[in-house]
Amino acid sequence: MTTRRTTLAILGATILASLQPLPLFAEEDAAAKAVEAAKAFAGTTINVAEEAGLMAMLGINVTGPEWERLTGIKVKVSELPYEELFTKQLLEHKAGSGAYDVLTIGHSWVADLVLAGALEPLDPLIEKYGVKEEFDDIVPAFREGTMYQGATYALAVDGDVHVLYYRKDIFEDPAMQEAFKAKYGYDLAPPTDYGKFNEVCQFITDQTGGKVYGAGLINTGYQHFFFGERFRLYGGKYFDEASMKAQINSEAGVRAVQEMVDALKCQPPGAATWGFGESLSALNSGEIAMTITWPPVARWAQGINADEQALSWVPESTVVDKIGYALTPGGHPSLVPGIQLALSSDSKNKDAAYLYMQWLTSKTESLKNVMRPIGLRDPFRYSHFDSPEFQALWPTAPNYLSVLREGDEKGYADFAVLETYKYTDTLARAVIAAIGGKDPKAALDEAAAQWDAITKQVGVDRQREAYKAWASRPSAYRM
């Protein structure tokens, strides 16, 4: 299935001189502490598993070489497609190969990897190197995602959140506003619920005669991300906690999928098979007025870093200065997949590897990385949103950062239980089948039956415990 990260994983290019590392900030911060402590391990090589493409390029071309220059520790990056990260890293642990010191993981994998014994608890190292206070700067939902049963097993490195992008010139056009108000009785504006989203989408498509379609969404790939947001908005719960029977085929689930199907009517022909790349291309070319996707699109639509060789695959933008940013309809966007770094329990260089992680995720270094054109790092700290440097990157960057901050604070955490990937793959395939023409209720009924079989295989009591732990997070079921 095509995903945002799979699309980006095809990249491979040389980083220009503008990507050279910036100088360290104040001596007392977590980055400086990591550098000083790591010098004791000079001559060590640490192996880091990274998602192939732009994410890995950051470590290969920028942060790895800089870490070696500062500390004498060499960083070797192994590139893995996003779809293989979980299974490959887990298999290497089960084989006892010690292939990786640092792991790249998603929020939804933590419980599985902890119970498999693959992750090293980080609290002793956090205490040892004196950086606990830096966690106060991280948005709570991303901090929650690094923990399991009260212990820290990962460090946040990326603030994934879905954003509604819209054409300001179309939404602010007086004639469009007048016609919309006459038809629907309310003002044309970024839609605040998915019913209005479909109305606005259809109106723009009709009003322009299809010259600009109302929206162009990502309709293939990991559709559980997009389903999960709508499902929870409508009061859906993934399981009945008492019986642990799947509830994805409830009224809330069917409504969510039906709205996704209905939205195809106002999207361009062929949009039912669109992935991340097609949606981005349509936005940048001016073919669509709205889409919902990940944070890097804001910079690419604005033409930021357009001269970077690593981004030569990004379609040229014809909508510079025309794109606005808003919370997704309903006000609780998906925080997915939430990339973080973890320390392998098999590492023979635990302190050296942990200190590289501490340095990368510190306030000072993470700010540099979320502003870089490579790495696919998105803001996850309050200091990122407040940064004058970031706010000055383009004229509407302050609005963009404000939306990201609110989305991060109000967003839905990625669904996470035991063997999550089996559940989410099943669900995504069901939603895609419905988008492709299958009856939504029938598709979800089949998926729910498969979920029940997975739960039985995992163990109802074990899964209930894991589900209760996840559901107790404030970011799991916001209302």
DSSP character string of 163-177: EEEEEHHHHT-HHHH
Distance CA 448, CA 431 (A): 12
| Res. 9: pLDDT tops 90 | no
| Res. 459: pLDDT tops 50 | yes
Secondary structure element (H or E) that encloses residue 440, with its range: helix 440-458
- Give the domains, in start order, of the chain with CATH numbers: 4-160+336-405 (3.40.190.10)
Q: What is the pLDDT of residue 243?
A: 98
Mean pLDDT for all residues in the chain: 94
| Res. 112: pLDDT tops 70 | yes
pLDDT tens digits for range 237-279: 999 999 999 999 999 999 999 999 999 999 999 999 999 999 9
| Residue 87: exposure state from Cβ atoms within 10 A (0-12, 13-18, ≥19) | exposed
pLDDT tens digits for range 270-329: 999 999 999 999 999 999 999 999 999 999 999 999 899 999 999 999 999 999 999 999
Distance CA 90, CA 233 (A): 33
Nearest CA-CA partner of 401 in 133, 161, 190: 161
Q: What is the pLDDT of residue 23?
A: 37
> What DSSP string runs through 179-216?
HHHHHHSS---S-SSHHHHHHHHHHHHHHTTTSSBS--
| Res. 1: pLDDT tops 70 | no
257 forms bridges with which residues in the sheet? none
Task: Please report which confidence band the pLDDT of residue 28 belongs to, taking 50, 70 and 90 as the band edges.
Answer: low
The amino acid occupying position 340 is Q
Distance CA 260, CA 226 (A): 9
> What DSSP string runs through 51-69?
ETTHHHHHIIIIIHHHHHH
pLDDT tens digits for range 116-142: 999 999 999 999 998 888 999 999 999
Distance CA 414, CA 379 (A): 17
Whether the Cβ atoms of residue 18 and residue 61 lie closer than 8 Å to each other: no
**Mean local confidence (pLDDT), 16-26:** 36
- Please give the structure tokens belonging to residue 296: 């890097």
> What DSSP string runs through 373-389?
SSS-----BHHHHT-HH
pLDDT tens digits for range 375-425: 999 999 999 999 999 999 999 999 999 999 999 999 999 999 999 999 999
Distance CA 223, CA 227 (A): 6
* CB-side neighbour CA atoms (13 Å) of 343: 23
Q: What is the pLDDT of residue 17?
A: 32
| Res. 465: pLDDT tops 80 | yes
Whether the Cβ atoms of residue 185 and residue 390 lie closer than 8 Å to each other: no
- Please give the structure tokens belonging to residue 388: 């004058």
Whether the Cβ atoms of residue 138 and residue 384 lie closer than 8 Å to each other: no
Q: What is the pLDDT of residue 13?
A: 35
Beta strands in 361-455 (DSSP E): 412-413
The backbone torsions φ and ψ at residue 342, rounded to the nearest 5 degrees and listed phi first, read -130, 155
Which DSSP state fits 313? Answer: T
pLDDT tens digits for range 177-227: 999 999 999 999 999 999 999 999 999 999 999 999 999 999 999 999 999
Distance CA 305, CA 177 (A): 33
The backbone torsions φ and ψ at residue 59, rounded to the nearest 5 degrees and listed phi first, read -70, -40
The structure's pTM equals: 0.93
Q: What is the pLDDT of residue 437?
A: 98
Q: What is the pLDDT of residue 20?
A: 38
Q: What is the pLDDT of residue 130?
A: 84
183-195 burial code (b ≥16 CB/10 A, e <16)? eeeeebebbeebe
Q: What is the pLDDT of residue 194?
A: 98
**Mean local confidence (pLDDT), 13-21:** 35
| Res. 27: pLDDT tops 60 | no
